[in-house]
Amino acid sequence: MRACSLKLQFALLSAVLAVLALGLAGAVLLPVVRHRQLYDLDEQLARDAAVLQGIFAAKEAEILAGTPGVVAGLLPPNLRLRYLEVEALDGRVLHRSGNLRGLDLTGEVGRAHPATIAGQAARLRTARQGELVLHVGTRLGTLDKTQRDLAMSLLTVLPLVVLGAFGGGLLLGRRAVRPIAALTAAAETISTERPGDRLPVPPTGDEVARLTEVLNRSFDRLQRAYEAAARFSADASHQLKTPLAVMRAGVDALGKMGGQVPEVQAEVEVLRRQSRRLTTMVDDLLLLAQVDAGRLELESGPSDLQPLLERVWEDLEALAAEQNVSVERSWPEALPCHADPRRVALILQNLLENAIKYTPPGGRIRGVATAGAAGVECRIANTGAPIAAAQCEAIFERFHRSGAGENVPGHGLGLNIARALARAHGGDLFLDRDEAGWTTFVLRLPRAPAG
C-alpha cells in the first residue's frame, strides 16, 4: 500500500485539527452561552418580581382578603404571559395564572430555580411582599431554541471549515515541501557519471538548508570512498598484469619442455588454464574499474554491426558443432549504428559465450538483429533452463552465478561488463522474458547521428 504524500498528510491533518478546534469551540461556547442566557433570564425575572412587589404593596390587604380579580387587574400587559402564583404565608393560593393549569409552584424566596410546567422546561423566581409570596416564571423555549440554532450553525459551517482547512493545508503543504522536491530532483542527477555534483543550498538558513549541507557532506564522503575504491581496483588490476604475464610465460615455457612425467605435465596444464583465467579476470576488472571511475575511453563513430556479428557468429558455429547445438541467424546486410567496434565486439563475444555455456546438448541458439529509426536491436536467445523472475536483474551483478550454471566455467563478470559497455554507448542490455522456453538478451545501440 502506497503511503500518501506529505502534502496530503498536511492537508488531512489541517482538516482534522479544524474539526477538533470547531468541536472544542462548540463544547465551550454552548455551555457559556446557555449560562449567560440563564443569568440574564434570572435577572429579568428578578426585575419582574420587583415590579409586581411594587404593584401589590398598595393592594396587599385586598389581595389577602381574596377579592376575586384583584391580582389579574393589577398585572401590567408585559407580565400577563408569565407564570404567576400568589399565595399567603398561611399557604392559601390567592391567585394562579391560567397557563399553570392548576399546578402549584414552590421555591425559596430570593432564589431562581428550574422547573417543569406542563411538560416544558421553565425558570422560576420566588419573592416576598409583606404577607404575600410571589412565584414568577417563564418557559425556556427561546433559550433552548437559541442553543439548537447555535449548534445547527456549527454543524452547518463544519463542512466549509473542513474544506477550507483541507485546501489551505494542501497549499501550505505544497509550499512547505517544495524545497524537499527540489532537493529530490537535484539528488537524482548525482550519479557515478557525475559524482562531483552537489545539492543547491537554499539561502533560507532553515532546517532544509541544514539538511542540504549535511547531505552534501555525506556525498563528499561517498565520492571520496568511491574514488578510492575505483582507484584501488584500477591500480591493483594494472599492477597484476605484469606478474601475471610473467607467470603465464613461465608456465607456457614449462609446458614446452620435454622429458616431463605425465603427472607434472598435467599440473602444468592446470596452471596454464588457471593463469589464463586469472589474466582474463584481471583484464575484466581493469575494464570495470575504468567504467566506475568514468575513465573508459570509447572510439565511437558511425559503424556497421553486421560484420561484427558475422565474425563472432563464425566462432559460435564452430563451438556449437562441437557441443551438438544448432544455431540460426537473421539480420540484414547493413546494421548502421554509432559505436566503438572494439567494445561492441566484446559485448557480442560475452553474449554468445554466455549462450553457448548455458545451452544444453541438442539445444538451439538464435540471433536476430534489426535496424530502426532509433538504432540497432540485436537479440541473442538460447534454449535451456529458465532464469527465475527474481534473477532477471541479479544476473547482471558482478560475480553473480545463477543456480543453473554453478558448474559452468566463468567468473560472473561477462554480463556486467556487457551491460556497462552498452550503456556507455548510450544503449542498453536487458533480459527479455516474453518468449517461453527461450532466454533472450536484447542489445540496443544508438543510430549514427545524421549529417
Calculate the CA 398 to chain-centre distance: 31
Q: Are 90 and 63 within 8 A, CB to CB?
A: no
Query: What topology is assigned to 6-147 in CATH?
Result: Beta-Lactamase (3.30.450)
- pLDDT in single tens digits along all 451 residues of the chain: 455 677 788 788 888 888 898 889 888 989 999 999 999 999 999 999 999 988 888 888 888 888 788 888 888 988 888 999 999 988 888 898 888 888 888 888 888 889 888 888 899 999 999 889 999 999 988 888 888 898 898 888 888 888 888 888 888 878 877 777 777 777 777 766 667 778 788 777 777 788 888 888 888 887 777 777 666 666 665 666 667 666 767 777 777 776 666 777 777 777 777 777 676 666 666 666 667 666 677 788 888 889 989 988 888 888 888 888 899 999 998 888 988 888 888 888 888 888 888 888 888 999 999 988 888 999 999 988 887 777 777 788 877 765 544 455 556 777 888 888 888 888 999 888 767 778 889 999 998 776 5
pLDDT at 402: 59
Q: What residue segments make up the domains of the chain, in order of their start?
A: 6-147, 225-292, 301-446
Which pLDDT does position 124 carry in this prediction?
92
Decide yes or no: CATH 1.10.287 for domain 225-292: yes
Q: What is the pTM of this model?
A: 0.49
CA atoms within 13 A on the CB side of 184: 5
- Which pLDDT does position 59 carry in this prediction? 84
Query: The C-alpha cell of 319 is what?
Result: 563451438
pLDDT for residue 183: 77
For residue 288, give the C-alpha cell.
570495470
pLDDT at site 369: 92
8 Å CB contact between 317 and 327: yes
Q: What is the pLDDT of residue 406?
A: 47
CATH code that applies to domain 301-446? 3.30.565.10
CA gap 418, 430 in Å, rounded: 10
233 CB-near residues (< 8 Å, 6+ apart): 285, 286, 288, 289, 292
CB 71 within 8 A of CB 63: yes
DSSP states along 397-442 = STT---GGGTTS-S-S-HHHHHHHHHHHTT-EEEEE--STTEEEEE
CA atoms within a 13 Å half-sphere pointing along the CA-CB vector of 97? 18
User: What is the predicted pLDDT for the residue at 192?
Assistant: 64
Long-range pairs for 192-196 at CB < 8 Å and ≥24 separation?
192/226, 192/292, 192/294, 193/294, 195/223, 195/226, 195/227, 195/294, 196/223
pLDDT at 43: 92
Contact 275, 302 (CB under 8 A): no
Query: Tell me, what amino acid is at 290?
Result: Q
